[in-house]
């Protein structure tokens, strides 16, 4: 013992401390192991985890409103939807600047579609208004131009509002090769001088110039601004401090001072009237309340919709009774998946038992029969059930021929829950039989014989000795069948009619037909959560260690 | 020296020629359609003759029109548009246009004028329902009935669908509110031009559902266009709604005891859209193809293979006989005056607004 304290740590053959050298060897081994599974890990991350995470993220993402209507989002902050009044002119002005740019970028209809999920009619409201909004402010445009024709000249606007440094860099860019990707087009920058005196005009002209550059590939130096910019100029000038304008120098003063003196005498119009003239719905505070309720970047709205609630300006409310459907569908999906799982156990257990007790030759032959349905397409198998079960189908024909059923009262066996359960039990049965079979194969016959020799009846020997040993197979089969069945949608769609459809049919509808991906993602997230909860419950009740897939 | 020069220049020309071709127009394109007899009619009438004119051109067909809107949106998000021309119904074209996924075009620049010089915008007229939509055919959703199951007086109006006493048995209707709500209100006594005004109100919707309630237990709801023809052929239903072209092939090609009920057929349009974001060469190729495939003769040719009406006014007189059956196609067109006595035009704008709302109500009504 004293040796060790004298010589310090134990050394490896190469003279290094043994502990460190061992650690290094282990680390190298771990890294090698990680490198070996890295392709699979990356593959799963990229093709499985990432898309699911991305899809689920859509269920709360709602940036479209604040991205498309940034000014309106800010302006609506001070508006109280409970007042019963439509928002002030300031909000309408902010909305006009947002909408005209959005219409030019073709984003307004997309936003309209988004908001239409929350309030019927907004889609066409946005489409209709987007066509007209670039005329809003024309009254002021005409009066400014009448006052001084310079107001129609693009050069006037550029001299007043553009940063001189931007003008020179933009002219440089224009002179060179425009297709050269290494020389990006310099985006319009406003000068600081008028920013404080005419804030709305500076802001809306900047928006105009950038849209002209990026969307239409035009030069702001050659384009007259759209009418809403004149609206902004009118609004700014009627509020601006005349001393500040008098203090300006050069063309800014010579243009703006007389304009400011003249605006008091301008013919005026209110923006809200223009909007209501396009569509009376703009006079409905409810529309504005909907926009306001969905301005945050993240929303619980989709999740609320997915459980038959809705987000309104006043908070969370229950959907009208005639639109509640998702809770019912979730319930039905769970119930029917349980039914399918149960019938798979009932049908699969005896077959698996038979398979495991036959001679290898016979059981292999039967196993092929179990696997045979996998060789036919899912659609073919489902359609075959249609032919069998429909009212003019094979089974009904046979029953009528046998005289068991009256021709006028043929059984309804398809386009309802029964049809779905039958067809899906058939399709999912192999997933129950295979794990059961592989577990039953490993149960020694001697146990049952021993039980019998000790005096157990057939039933007791089966129930007390054989069955408990086959439970892991039942567990595995049940989990497989249940999870597969709650995600099914083709079979329920084809044979489910109206009462036999699943929640997955609605998810598919929202993904491919209504394009409400947010709601589809929320429904999918809930479904995933339900599966995880059931899995957890199963683990607590039965224990996941007791599951054997063979 | 001279020979070498000649060889060099010819060689260069030979190499340069296909390259110049490639720069102007892509030498392959992917067209998307609905599959089945309809896509075959497009191949026969448009793409095969076009391919014969352009040697070396590769045309790939994709049968994804059913989920074109969702797929185009996904492609757009991924930044990789693999389709060049997509066949969609007009309502989908409007949505794609709204989302900025379809390209806006100028009809008189992109499309050929009629043989008499009428510009395309007039020849297609009101059928250009969206700035992105290139109309191709007019089809209708209408009813067919089993002639052997309806007794001596065959149904003559759409309201016979709602008459269970006169025509007992199952009917098939599409599993969506569109068309069904309109028919229900019409048969509940609402005047045709007031249908959408009534349907806008809560009471109107309740009225339509109440009318549908009277036959709800006897309806098989379909979601694929092939369902109703199959159900009619099996005798599962007495009458059912589907696209008129499907009924035509059931009656004329498969000789089933089925007849058309043209009353209150709902006109709808189908046509092309060009996705946004195509490269210049691909766009040039697609434009060239569209110019050819939507001219007066080509649209009339398509009617040789399927009973859908050409979208151009100038094509109607050129519609001839079916390519295989040899029967006159005129009387089988939904637009034929004898068939179009009482029709309804699908209201795109209205449904774009009310689709989500009414669909939720409709599904909830179905599930109860």
Best probe of the B interface among A115, A320, A389, A514, by most B CBs < 10 A, is: A514
**Using the beta-carbon criterion (under 8 Å), do A113 and B98 form an inter-chain contact?**
yes
- pLDDT at A549 (0 to 100): 62
Per-residue pLDDT of chain A (550 residues; tens, 9 = 90+): 444 455 567 887 777 888 888 898 899 999 999 999 999 999 999 999 998 899 889 999 999 999 999 999 999 998 998 888 999 999 999 999 999 999 998 899 899 989 999 888 898 899 889 989 999 999 999 999 999 999 999 999 999 999 999 999 999 898 888 777 788 889 999 988 888 899 999 999 999 999 999 988 889 999 999 999 999 999 999 998 888 888 888 888 889 999 999 999 999 999 999 999 999 999 999 999 999 999 999 999 999 999 999 988 888 999 888 888 999 999 999 999 999 999 999 999 999 999 999 988 999 999 999 888 888 888 899 989 999 999 999 999 999 999 999 888 899 999 999 999 999 999 999 999 999 999 999 999 899 999 999 999 999 999 999 999 999 899 889 989 999 999 898 899 989 888 888 999 999 999 988 889 999 999 999 999 999 998 898 888 877 776 766 5
- pLDDT at B11 (0 to 100): 46
Helix (H, G, I), strand (E, B) or coil at A216: coil
Q: Measured between alpha carbons, how far apart are the two ends of chain B, in Å?
A: 90
Q: What does the block give as tokens for A220?
A: 């702001």
**Using the beta-carbon criterion (under 8 Å), do B98 and A109 form an inter-chain contact?**
yes
**Whether B73 contacts B19, CB under 8 Å:** no
Q: What does the block give as tokens for B317?
A: 């007189």
B92-113 residue pLDDT tens: 999 898 888 999 999 999 999 9
CB contacts < 8 A (A, B): 85
**Whether A139 contacts A269, CB under 8 Å:** yes
Superfamily of domain A326-546, CATH level 4: MetI-like (1.10.3720.10)
**Whether B72 contacts B101, CB under 8 Å:** yes
Measure in Å the smallest separation between the Cα of A534 and chain B Cα atoms: 25
Search chain A and give the residue with CA nearest B102. Answer: A106
Of B97, B100, B367, the CB nearest to A498: B367
**Exposed/middle/buried for A184, CB within 10 Å: 0-12, 13-18, 19+?**
exposed
- pLDDT at B137 (0 to 100): 95
List, for chain B, all residue ranges whose pLDDT scores fall below the cut of 70: 1-23
Helix (H, G, I), strand (E, B) or coil at A162: strand
Q: What are the extents of the domains in chain B?
A: 26-138+270-327, 141-267+332-367
B107-138 residue pLDDT tens: 999 999 999 999 999 999 999 999 999 999 99
- Give chain A positions within 8 Å (CB) of B97: 109
Measure in Å the smallest separation between the Cα of A154 and chain B Cα atoms: 28
- pLDDT at B10 (0 to 100): 47
- pLDDT at A2 (0 to 100): 47
- pLDDT at A548 (0 to 100): 66
Rg (CA), chain B: 23
Q: What are the extents of the domains in chain A?
A: 2-57, 65-134+271-299, 138-263, 326-546
Task: Kindly tell me the sign of the dihedral angle through the C-alpha atoms of B47, B48, B49, B50.
Answer: positive
Architecture (CATH level 2) of domain B26-138+270-327: 3-Layer(aba) Sandwich (3.40)
- Give chain B positions within 8 Å (CB) of A329: 367
Question: Is residue B226 within 8 angstroms of chain A, CB to CB?
Answer: no
- Give chain A positions within 8 Å (CB) of B363: 325, 506
- pLDDT at B22 (0 to 100): 44
- pLDDT at B14 (0 to 100): 45
Measure in Å the smallest separation between the Cα of A106 and chain B Cα atoms: 6
Indicate the fold that domain B141-267+332-367 takes in CATH: D-Maltodextrin-Binding Protein; domain 2 (3.40.190)
- Give chain B positions within 8 Å (CB) of A117: 356
**Whether A289 contacts A313, CB under 8 Å:** yes
**Using the beta-carbon criterion (under 8 Å), do B367 and A506 form an inter-chain contact?**
no
- Give chain A positions within 8 Å (CB) of B221: 415, 497-498
- Give chain B positions within 8 Å (CB) of A333: none
Helix (H, G, I), strand (E, B) or coil at A413: coil
Buried b (16+ CB within 10 A) or exposed e, A285-320: bebbbbbbbbbeeebebbbbbbbbbbbbbeeeeebe
Taking phi over 0 as left and psi of -120 to 50 as alpha, with beta for the rest, B79 belongs to: left
Question: What's the rounded Cα separation, in Å, for the pair B336 and B319?
Answer: 11
> How distant, in Å, are the alpha carbons of A105, B224, B346 from that of B96?
15, 22, 18
Same CATH fold assignment for domains B26-138+270-327 and B141-267+332-367: yes
Question: What's the rounded Cα separation, in Å, for the pair A268 and A235?
Answer: 10
- Give B143-178 as a DSSP string: EEEETTSS-SS---SGGGGG-TTTS-S-EEEESSST
């Amino acid at each position: 013992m004293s040796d060790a304290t004298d010589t310090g740590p134990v050394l490896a053959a190469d003279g290094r401390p043994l502990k460190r050298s061992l650690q290094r060897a282990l680390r190298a081994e771990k890294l090698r192991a990680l490198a070996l599974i890295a392709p699979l890990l990356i593959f799963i991350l990229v093709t499985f985890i990432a898309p699911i995470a991305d899809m689920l993220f859509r269920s709360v993402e709602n940036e479209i409103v604040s991205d498309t209507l940034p000014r309106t989002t800010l302006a609506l902050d001070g508006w109280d939807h409970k007042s019963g009044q439509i928002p002030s002119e300031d909000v309408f002005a902010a909305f006009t600047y947002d909408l005209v740019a959005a219409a030019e970028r073709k984003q307004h209809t997309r936003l309209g579609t988004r908001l239409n999920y929350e309030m019927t009619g907004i889609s066409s409201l946005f489409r209709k208004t987007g066509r007209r909004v670039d005329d809003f402010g024309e009254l002021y445009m005409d009066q400014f131009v009448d006052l001084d024709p310079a107001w129609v000249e693009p050069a006037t606007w550029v001299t007043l509002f553009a940063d001189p440094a931007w003008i020179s860099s933009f002219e440089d860019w224009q002179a060179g090769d425009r297709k050269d990707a290494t020389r990006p087009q310099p985006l319009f920058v406003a000068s600081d001088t008028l920013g404080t005196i005419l804030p709305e005009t500076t802001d809306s002209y900047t928006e105009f110039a950038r849209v002209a550059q990026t969307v239409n590939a035009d030069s702001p130096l050659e384009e007259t601004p759209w009418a809403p910019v004149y609206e902004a100029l009118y609004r700014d000038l009627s509020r601006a401090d005349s001393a500040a304008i008098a203090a300006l120098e050069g063309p800014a003063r010579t243009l703006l001072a007389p304009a400011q003196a003249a605006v008091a005498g301008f013919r005026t119009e209110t923006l809200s009237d223009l909007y209501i003239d396009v569509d009376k719905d703009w006079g409905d505070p409810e529309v504005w309340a909907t926009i306001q309720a969905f301005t945050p970047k993240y929303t619980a709205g989709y999740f609320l919709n997915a459980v038959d609630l809705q987000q309104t300006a006043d908070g969370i409310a229950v959907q009208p009774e005639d639109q509640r459907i998702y809770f019912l569908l979730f319930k039905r999906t769970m119930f029917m998946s349980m039914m399918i799982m149960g019938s798979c156990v009932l049908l699969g257990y005896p077959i698996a038992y038979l398979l495991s007790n036959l001679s290898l030759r016979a059981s292999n032959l039967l196993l092929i029969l179990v696997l045979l349905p996998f060789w036919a397409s899912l659609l073919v198998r489902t359609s075959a059930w249609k032919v069998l079960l429909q009212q003019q189908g094979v089974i009904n024909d046979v029953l009528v021929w046998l005289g068991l059923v009256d021709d006028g009262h043929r059984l309804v066996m398809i386009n309802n829950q029964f049809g779905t359960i039958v067809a899906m039990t058939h399709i999912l049965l192999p997933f129950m039989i295979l794990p059961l079979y592989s577990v039953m194969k490993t149960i020694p016959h001697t146990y049952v014989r021993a039980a019998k020799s000790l005096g157990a009846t057939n039933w007791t020997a089966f129930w007390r000795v054989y069955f408990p040993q086959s439970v892991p197979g039942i567990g595995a089969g049940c989990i497989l069948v249940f999870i597969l069945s709650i995600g099914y949608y083709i079979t329920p769609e084809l044979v489910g009619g109206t009462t036999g459809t699943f929640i997955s049919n609605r998810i598919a509808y929202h993904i491919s037909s209504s394009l409400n991906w947010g709601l589809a993602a929320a429904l999918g997230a809930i479904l995933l959560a339900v599966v995880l909860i059931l899995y957890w419950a199963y683990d607590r009740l039965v224990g996941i260690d007791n599951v054997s897939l063979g | 020296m001279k020979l070498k020069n000649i060889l060099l220049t010819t060689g260069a020309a030979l190499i340069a020629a296909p390259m110049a071709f490639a720069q102007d127009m892509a030498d392959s394109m992917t067209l998307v359609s609905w599959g089945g007899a309809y896509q075959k009619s497009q191949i026969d009438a448009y793409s095969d003759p076009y391919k014969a004119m352009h040697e070396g051109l590769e045309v790939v067909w994709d049968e994804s029109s059913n989920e074109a809107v969702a797929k185009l949106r996904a492609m757009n998000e991924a930044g990789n548009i693999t389709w060049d021309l997509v066949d969609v119904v007009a309502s989908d074209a409007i949505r794609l246009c709204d989302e900025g996924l379809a390209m806006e075009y100028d009809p008189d620049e992109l499309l050929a004028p009629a043989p008499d010089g009428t510009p395309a915008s007039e020849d297609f007229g009101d059928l250009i329902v969206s700035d992105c939509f290139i109309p191709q055919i007019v089809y209708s959703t209408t009813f067919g009935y089993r002639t052997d199951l309806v007794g001596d007086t065959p149904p003559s109006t759409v309201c016979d669908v709602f008459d269970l006493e006169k025509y007992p048995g199952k009917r098939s209707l599409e599993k969506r509110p569109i068309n069904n709500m309109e028919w229900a209100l019409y048969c509940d006594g609402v005047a045709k031009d007031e249908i959408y005004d009534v349907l806008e109100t809560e009471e109107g919707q309740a009225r339509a559902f109440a009318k549908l309630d009277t036959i709800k237990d006897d309806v098989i709801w379909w979601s694929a266009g092939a369902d109703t023809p199959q159900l009619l052929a099996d005798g599962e239903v007495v009458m059912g709604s589907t696209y008129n072209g499907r009924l035509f092939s059931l009656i004329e090609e498969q000789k089933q005891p089925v007849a058309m009920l043209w009353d209150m057929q709902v006109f709808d349009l189908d046509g092309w859209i060009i996705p946004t974001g195509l490269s210049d060469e691909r766009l040039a190729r697609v434009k060239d193809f569209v110019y050819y495939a939507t001219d007066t003769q080509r649209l009339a040719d398509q009617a040789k293979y399927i009973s859908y009406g050409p979208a151009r006014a100038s094509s109607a007189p050129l519609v001839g006989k079916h390519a295989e059956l040899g029967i006159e196609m005129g009387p089988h067109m939904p637009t034929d005056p004898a068939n179009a006595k009482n029709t309804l035009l699908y209201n795109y704008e209205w449904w774009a607004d009310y689709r989500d709302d009414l669909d939720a109500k409709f599904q909830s009504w179905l599930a109860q």
